[in-house]
Structure 1
Amino acid sequence: MKVDLKAVEDSSKELYIRALKILPPDIKEGFRRLLLGETSARAKQMLSTMTTNIDVAEANTNLLCQDTGVPVYYVKVGSNVQFNGRELIQAIRRGCERATLEHPLRSSIVHPITRKNNQNSCGIDVPVISFDFIDEPDVLEILMVPKGSGAENNSFLKMAVPAEGVNAIKEFVIDCVLAAGGKTCPPTIVGVGIGGTSELCVAMAKRAAIRSLDSVCTDPDGAALEHELSMAVNKLGVGPQGLGGDSTSFAVHIELAATHITMNPIAVNMQCHSARRASARFTPDNITYGF
């Protein structure tokens, strides 16, 4: 399958707008589950206010949150998909820019030193674009995530000593959730990366944070730790928007990689309650949109 670069550009624009305006169904279901289990009256009221905000935004095709975030695109490529990598990156970048200029959206991207804003949501190495490969030969998938700064600012890395064992992982995750408090606009998805190298660990934590709430870590030990930590963080009392309650997090998600015998990296990356994402799936016959 040869990639239609104009279709990629148009879809990259559409994905940015969709992600900012439509909350994925699994997140809405996550709100429903938290409301059912919440014991604090104030937390229930806050969760209800959040869901009302979502309903009003979607009904009026407004943004779910004023923060348009850092635009991140995850591209998955099938073995028979043909494209020029540089041209594909440029097509995604043009789509991101068009979404900002034509919609229009607030540009949140600035130069890290001068703080100059080009008003197009683009800059040095932004949008962030990463590639992976899938078994389906004639499929190209693009997942767009506008990563809000409130959540992204609460990112953490620890190069743990292996002798500290699993307890070091548990303590670090709990400490990070407490340190973030209400700054991440909880309830959150807590993404945790374990193993690999420092940069891989941080990347895994972000991938974990944007996973669907109905997903589970593919490693059985990781899945068991996910469940344990998901229960633990909701006993911390942080609650929605940091105002107290049982609903601190929708879930803790974990991604794992093998690592060196002398180290055990641990990273945490959080996603706020407005856990926005949108996806496009390209096949030889059509393009379908989802989450």
Structure 2
Amino acid sequence: MIHTRLVPGDRVRLTVAPKGFGSENMSALRMFTPAATRQDLVDYIVGVVQKAGSNPCPPVVIGVGIGGDFEKCALLAKEALCRPLSRRNPNPDYAALEQELLEKINALDIGPQGFGGQTTALGVNIETYATHIAGLPVAVNVGCHVTRHATKEL
């Protein structure tokens, strides 16, 4: 898939993120209503990982997209996989949610390759976007333990 975005200036930034379908098949998107609570989102995201079990070759990296529309939300989740795990979301509320999700996912005891243990996920990254007041799309893009990407500016 190739996505483009116009930006000011005379440079182009390319990001390549090769991804296998073992983890891609475990990804999911749900259109919540605005009545959904924070806990509803936590339960959904953790549930996606729990349902995936050992299929995406854990330990996994979880990219979460919140907002936009159906299409934008999925792209946000994929872009979240490209953020370094050492860099939290700049919004303190979302950074706290990333940490909470990581702890709950690691408590599932799926572990590396599904053999059990406390390292089911290496990280959870959340990206957000404005959305229509009538909806709250949430996408979960699962990345396997070899989640990889590279960026080059030309």
TM-score under structure 2 normalisation?
0.93
Q: Take 1:191 and 1:246, find their aligned partners in 2: how far apart are those partners?
A: 19
Q: Is the 8 A contact 1:181 1:242 kept in 2?
A: yes
Alignment length (residue pairs) = 154
Q: Does 1:260 align with 2:132?
A: yes
Alignment of 1:187-226 (within 5 A): 187-226=59-98
1:160-199 equivalences under 5 Å are 160-199=32-71
Structure 1's 216 and 134: CA in aligned 2 closer, same or farther, altered over 3 A? farther
Question: How far 1:192 sits from its partner (Å)?
Answer: 0.6
Q: CA–CA distance in 2 between the matches of 1:143 and 1:262?
A: 33
The structure, 1 or 2, with the larger RCO (C-alpha pairs under 8 Å, 6+ apart) is 2
Residue 141 (1) aligns with residue 32 (2): no
Q: What is the DSSP-based 3-state SS (H/G/I as helix, E as strand, rest coil) of the residue aligned with 1:162?
A: coil
The alpha-carbon deviation at position 256 of structure 1 amounts to 0.6
Return 5+ residue gaps in structure 1 as ranges.
1-127, 283-291
8 Å CA contact retained: 2:85, 2:124: no
Q: Which amino acid aligns with 2:91?
A: D
Aligned equivalent of 2:123, options 251, 264, 267: 251
Take 1:134 and 1:250, find their aligned partners in 2: how far apart are those partners?
A: 32
After superposition, the CA RMSD in angstroms is 1.4
Distance 2:5 2:111 in 1: 35
C-alpha separation in 2, matches of 1:241 and 1:133: 40
> Which amino acid in the other structure matches residue 171 of structure 1?
D
The corresponding residue for 2:146 is 274
Query: Is 1:131 the counterpart of 2:12 in the alignment?
Result: no
Give the Å deviation of 1:133: 4.3
In structure 1, what is the equivalent of residue 22 of structure 2?
150
**1:82 alignment counterpart:** none
CA distance in 2, matches of 1:217, 1:131: 23
Task: Check whether the contact 1:189–1:252 (CA below 8 A) recurs between aligned residues.
Answer: yes
Q: Which segments of structure 1 move beyond 3 Å, counting only runs of 4 or more?
A: none
- Distance in 1 of aligned mates of 2:118 and 2:48: 17
Aligned residues of 1:189 and 1:249 also touching (Cα < 8 A)? yes
Deviations along 1:46-95, one digit per CA (max 9) or x if unpaired, are xxxxxxxxxxxxxxxxxxxxxxxxxxxxxxxxxxxxxxxxxxxxxxxxxx
- Give, in angstroms, the shift of residue 207 of structure 1: 0.7
Offset from partner CA, 1:132-182 (integer Å, 9 cap, x none): 3456x3432211111111111111011112222111110000100001111
Normalising by structure 1, report the TM-score. Answer: 0.51
Q: Which has the higher helix share?
A: 1
Give the fraction of aligned pairs with identical amino acids, expressed as a percent. Answer: 42
Segments of 5+ residues of structure 2 without an aligned counterpart are none
User: Is the CA contact (8 Å cut-off) linking 1:210 and 1:271 kept in structure 2?
Assistant: no
Cα distance in 1 for partners of 2:15, 2:43 equals 32
Cα deviation for residue 208 of structure 1 reads 0.8
Q: State which structure, 1 or 2, has the greater radius of gyration over its C-alpha atoms.
A: 1
Q: Could you tell me which amino acid in structure 2 is paired with residue 248 of structure 1? A: T
Structure-2 separation of matches of 1:267 and 1:191 = 8
CA distance in 1, matches of 2:80, 2:146: 16
